A and B are shown apart, each in its own frame.
Chain A
Amino acid sequence: MPPSTSSELTLSVNGEKYTLTVDHRTTLLDALRERLDLTGTKKGCDQGQCGACTVLVDGRRSVSCLQLAVAAEGREITTIEGVASGDRLHPVQQAFLDLDGFQCGYCTPGQICSAIAVIEEHAAGWPSAATGDVRPEAGPPALTPEEIRERMSGNLCRCGAYVSIVQAVARAAESEGAAA
C-alpha cells in the first residue's frame, strides 16, 4: 500500500497549538500563510535564496520555505507575529521602525527574525565568516558592523535598506546588551 501523502499534525506557533491536516508537500511557510493566516512570514523566492521567510525554529533562525510543515511538528516556531511582548515591540522591531530599516517592508519580517537570532548567536559566542580568528582562545568577536553585515547576508533587501538595517541591528544589540 502506498504511504499516505498527508498527515494530521500539531504545529506549535508563537506559543499556540494548531492541529491541522497537511499535504506533505506543504512547506512550513505555506502552512503559516495559507492555513494559519499568519501572513507576516513572506515568500520571496521559495528556494532558500532570499531569507524573506525566516522564522525561529526552536529558537534558531531557519528558512520556512525549505522546511516541510510535516517535519516541523514537535518544534516551537516563532514568527514575526510572535516576537513583540503584547503592544511593546521587540527592541529589534523598534529599532527598525525608528531608524527606517526597510522600504517596501516585504523582506522586513525575515530581516527582523534573522536579526533577533544574530544577536543571540553572537551572545553565544558563535564566530562568523567575518571573524578573523575563529579559535575559541581568540575570544568572541565584537559585533561590529562588518560582523552584522556578514551574519545578516542571508536576508536580501532589494530596496537597498541595508545601511539602516545594520544600524538598527547594532542599536538593538546595544540596548539588549545594556538591559542584560
Chain B
Amino acid sequence: MREFGYRRAHDVSGAVALLDGDPDARFLGGGTNLVDLMKTGVERPALLVDVRELPLDRVEPAAGGGLRIGATVTNSDLAAHPEVRRRYPALAQAVLAGASGQLRNMATVGGNLLQRTRCGYFADVHSPCNKRAPGTGCPAVTGEHHNHAVLGASGHCVATHPSDMGVALAAFDAVVSYETADGPGEVPLADFYLPVGETPHRETALPPGALITGVTLPPVPTAANSRYRKVRERASYAFAIGSVAAALDVRDGLVHDVRLAFGAVASRPWRARAAERVLTGAPANAENFAAAADAELAAARPLPHNGYKVTLMRNLVVAVLSELAEEAAR
C-alpha cells in the first residue's frame, strides 16, 4: 500500500471539492471494499476523502411516495429500517444476505453500489485482467469461472457484480443521485452500470469526480410482497453464485405486476425484463414462471463450467415466484 493523504469531508460540496476530480483520489465510505483493494494493490490512491460524516445517513420519505436512502446509510441501518422492511422486504433481505454483521455495520449504500467484482483474477495483481489492467486479457474465460457471468458478459470480461442490495434495488427501479462540481445529477440504476463490451474497466455512468449522494426508490406497491433468495457455497458469509429478487402481485389468478432481478450472473444486477413481460397478465403458475425464466435465460451464454447457473436461476425463479404466489393466495 503506498502512502496517501486523508481528508475528512463535512458537507457534500466540500467532499466534491476536496476530491477535485483527481483520478488518483477516492471517496472513502465504510472502507470494506476499498481498503481491502488497497491492501491487495488493486487500488493505489494518493488521496482519500472520507465521506462517512456527510449528512447523508437518513432514510426518508421521498416526494411522490417513495423512499430516499442517503448514500452513507449503513447496510445495517438500511436493513433494520421499518419502512424498508414493510414496503420493500426483499431489499432488507438482500442486504441481510450480504457479508457479515460487522461488515454491514461499516458498509454504506453508496459504497455497496460501487463495490468491485470478487473475481479472483481481478484481485490478484499478478494476473492478467482487462478490468484492472485493460488489454492484458481475461484468464477466467479459459480458467476458473464456475462463479462467473452467464448474461451480458463479453470475451473481454466475465466477472460478476457482487452486490446483493443492488439486485433488490434493480428490481424496484431505484434511481441513483450524485453530486459533481457542476451540481447534482441522477441516473436510473438500470443505466448506472455500463455494458461490458470491450471496456470492462469502465463500470458506471457516474461522471468523473462524482459523489453518490443517495438512492431513491419509487413507490412500488407490489414490493410489499417481495423476497430475496440467495444461493451460495456456504450457508452464510459468502458471495452469491445466484440470487433472485422478486415481487409479485396476483389478481384473480393472473399476474398483475411482477418484478424480477438476478444477482451473480452478470456484470451488474440483472433486471429480468424479458421474464417480466412474459408473465405480466399471464396465469400465475409454475409453468409460466418457468417459461418466464427461460425467456430471460435464452440470452445466457454459459462458459464450460458455469452452465449450472442457467438451471439454478430457472429453478430459483420458479421457487421464489411460487412461494410468493402461494403466500399471496393465503
Contact = CB atoms under 8 A, between A and B. Distances in A.
Interface of A: 2-5, 7, 23-25, 27, 46-48, 51, 54, 57, 60-63, 66-68, 70-71, 114, 117-118, 121, 124-129, 131, 133-137, 149-156
Contact of A2 (B46, B93, B235): B46
A164 to B, nearest CB: 19
B103 interface: yes
B106 A63 contact: yes
B36 A47 contact: yes
B96 A134 contact: yes
Interface stretch (B79-87, B174-182, B281-289): B79-87
A62 B93 CA distance: 20
Interface string B1-44: 10111111000000000000000000010111001100110000
Nearest to B95: A129
B3 A24 contact: yes
B102 A63 contact: yes
B86 A5 contact: no
Contact of A154 (B48, B50, B97, B101): B101
Nearest to A154: B100
Given A7-B6, A134-B92, A153-B236, A71 B28 contact: yes
B106 to A, nearest CB: 5
Nearest to B97: A129
Given A67-B35, A127-B80, A129-B236, A153 B105 contact: no
B76 interface: yes
A109 to B, nearest CB: 13
A24 B6 contact: yes
Nearest to A66: B35
